[in-house]
Chains A and B, each alone.
Chain A
């Protein structure tokens, strides 16, 4: 069997596994967020928080909960890093400097998990497990909570109430992420991922002498890093490191973990709005883009254009032998079409076009299938835009799921889709215009520009992967990517929740013969088109200067 066929069989196997999980997990998550019962452990947690989980919140109250919880999270993680040097469990590492601490705290709370640090040389056990891994859970739970609030906005009528943020946060963590991550972590250890609390120690080598090993709670962090679409690795090499991703099977399994919640949430959505077919239409849109991107990526990586790769005879630079080109391509697409940003191979050394596919994946807004929660709400915003476009074409007021998309709704949706491009392009342009940020580039020419474009696409979309040649540990990049992450995470959430509140207040519009059938393939086609055109037009000039220039030159 050739590597190309093996690559496609891996893709098929992955699709099969995701399909098997779709209905049970999607239904389960719908029950989690609809049930009025509380588990005993949840009751204890609510008592600890001092919140009543049965109080319904309007959208401003829900948003205040999200923002307050996230603000405290950033501050806590910042202090944990700043105080690492005097706290126990530091592995002897010093406190992290202010700019890098700010960047990392923001990065993990916003579900970005950009790493401007070398994990194995900067973060001790305490910061990794009680700081970074905790935000892997909580930022993912916040993302799902916001998505669920938007779904409730569609499902409910004549009320401004969107649910209770604390209840959604706690349930997502306790009932979905913790059990899922526990099982996944044990599977990863069975493959060879490490899980211990030993310090840095010496281990003998074949030729004599010794090598230094870091211990660490790696598997437990790896599991939630993928399942929560976070992506911040224990080690600098992230999921390319054999202790994080030891075998070909663990590689496929990690891709499955990345995709399973975002895809299954479309089922949760379908169940909660009372029509699983609506969920299928959204699923089909996500799946079409994801499969298309994987196919493109495999094509360009197996063709290995670029002088160095042509001379080498294959696109193996930055890729591990055990994953091969096929496994690495699927991982790269899946991590950039979600908000994960974990890498099992280094995107900077992909072909010019392959690198461009990873950048475009993030720039689509990470909606195919997107991050935990953020993928669903991003895609629903695009669906609102798509019905609006369709409404303009036939000249009637657009509706989606029985709700009118009036000028208020479309303003919120339009603001949502403008924020991220504005951040990406402004910060990239500023970095290119100033003289010092350019010193951070490793490569020159078009690829150097791509490094910067990648960095801000990744930060503003809360992805976290990088063209890692860029030295991002400078005051400029730590601060500016930090700002891009903050604004790119929370401004869109403001508009999502405002939209949710506005929808929930409406009374439902009865379906008529003139209503656009949003569960049909025609709508899926329209939605894919709207996504590609909106994003394509926004980013095309920037992409032409970077990856397209590089890809077409070789």
Chain B
């Protein structure tokens, strides 16, 4: 009995020493070496791919943002500022959570099931809003024109991109609200559309922040 106790203690001691030594290798040296390489080789990316406009940092090209009007009195959720291209809905983590709308400090999805009534209502509401917001004189949007990414929340709630179809659908509204021609805005969207990597990896996409920065430049020039 005493002997087996000593043996167990000896074994646990070896386990603890192994853990400490290997923690030094994998928990201290490894992350520091990687951080050194990352900061040396890819300084900007390692720090979050900050994007600037007019010399000011306006976020990260990787992280989606909301483009809303200031919150009015009595409002719970602000209205979208229709002057700017809008990103995807972000209903993740529910209304009881600390953050829902593109707040980086907590990421997450809605986790609602494919046949959930709550999700169905969210999709319907989003679809109605997209139709209403983007139907301008001379251009009518039908519910069937609205692409799926415009009415669903992403996995992270921070999706920086929208599909080219959703960007195209916003062109007429953006042109009208900013006093630009449709051709001007369409050109802007086309320039900011990324195809699939190597032609087949991922999906074509438009980075909303970069597109809005370009839009701001264009309107400033006019």
Interface 1/0 per residue, B85-108 and A, CB below 8 Å: 000100010000000001111111
On whether A349 and B114 interact (CB within 8 A), knowing A45-B22, A190-B45, A314-B149, the answer reads yes
Q: With CB as the reference atom, state the residue of chain B lying closest to A204.
A: B57
A212 touches B103 (CB 8 A): yes
Q: With CB as the reference atom, state the residue of chain A lying closest to B113.
A: A447
A317 touches B17 (CB 8 A): no
A278-316 residues with Cβ-Cβ distance < 8 A to B are 304-309, 311-316
B158 touches A237 (CB 8 A): yes
| Shortest distance between the CB of B101 and any CB in chain A (Å) | 11
Which B residues lie within 8 Å of A157 (CB)?
A: none
Q: Which of A1, A130, A185, A242 is B63 in contact with, Cβ under 8 Å? A: A242
A1 touches B17 (CB 8 A): no
Q: How far is the CA of A554 from the CA of B120 in the complex (A)?
A: 13
Q: With CB as the reference atom, state the residue of chain B lying closest to A325.
A: B203
- By size class, the interface of chain B is 35 or more
Q: Is B34 an interface residue (CB 8 A)?
A: yes
Q: With CB as the reference atom, state the residue of chain A lying closest to B49.
A: A192
B62 touches A321 (CB 8 A): no
Which A residues lie within 8 Å of B67 (CB)?
A: 206-207
Which A residues lie within 8 Å of B42 (CB)?
A: 189-190
Q: Is A154 an interface residue (CB 8 A)?
A: no
Q: Count the A residues whose beta carbon is within 8 Å of the partner chain — how many?
A: 123
On whether A138 and B205 interact (CB within 8 A), knowing A48-B17, A186-B38, A242-B158, the answer reads no
B181-219 residues with Cβ-Cβ distance < 8 A to A are 196-203, 205, 209, 212-213
B59 touches A322 (CB 8 A): no
B115 touches A237 (CB 8 A): no
Q: How far is the CA of A48 from the CA of B152 in the complex (A)?
A: 54
Which B residues lie within 8 Å of A515 (CB)?
A: none
Which B residues lie within 8 Å of A185 (CB)?
A: 34, 37-38
| Most chain A CB inside 10 Å of its own CB: which residue of B23, B62, B111 | B111
| Shortest distance between the CB of A133 and any CB in chain B (Å) | 6
Which A residues lie within 8 Å of B59 (CB)?
A: 203-206, 211
Which A residues lie within 8 Å of B38 (CB)?
A: 185-186, 189, 195-196, 219
| Shortest distance between the CB of B74 and any CB in chain A (Å) | 20
Q: How far is the CA of A178 from the CA of B30 in the complex (A)?
A: 7
Q: Which of B21, B81, B157 is A237 in contact with, Cβ under 8 Å? A: B157
Q: How far is the CA of A77 from the CA of B92 in the complex (A)?
A: 30
B35 touches A1 (CB 8 A): no
Which A residues lie within 8 Å of B161 (CB)?
A: 320-322
Q: How far is the CA of A221 from the CA of B156 in the complex (A)?
A: 18
A320 touches B159 (CB 8 A): yes
Q: How far is the CA of A212 from the CA of B103 in the complex (A)?
A: 7
* Supplied contacts A237-B156, A306-B113, 11 more A-B pairs, CB within 8 Å: A49-B18, A121-B105, A173-B22, A206-B67, A212-B104, A221-B31, A236-B106, A308-B113, A317-B109, A317-B112, A355-B114
- Can you offer 29 A-B residue contacts whose CB atoms are under 8 A? A45-B21, A48-B18, A118-B108, A120-B106, A130-B23, A169-B22, A182-B37, A186-B41, A206-B67, A207-B65, A207-B66, A236-B106, A236-B107, A237-B92, A242-B62, A243-B48, A243-B63, A247-B197, A309-B114, A309-B148, A311-B124, A315-B148, A317-B110, A317-B114, A318-B110, A319-B154, A346-B155, A349-B112, A447-B113
Interface residues of A (CB under 8 A from B): 1, 3, 5-6, 9-10, 13, 45, 48-51, 64-65, 68-69, 71-73, 76, 118, 120-121, 129-131, 133-134, 137-138, 166, 169-170, 173-174, 177-178, 181-182, 185-186, 189-198, 200, 203-207, 211-215, 217, 219-221, 223-224, 235-237, 240-243, 246-249, 251-252, 304-309, 311-324, 326-328, 343-346, 348-352, 355, 442-443, 447, 467-469, 550, 553-554
Q: Which 8 pairs from chain A and chain B are nearest by CB?
A: A248-B202, A306-B114, A314-B148, A240-B155, A324-B203, A469-B111, A237-B107, A195-B38
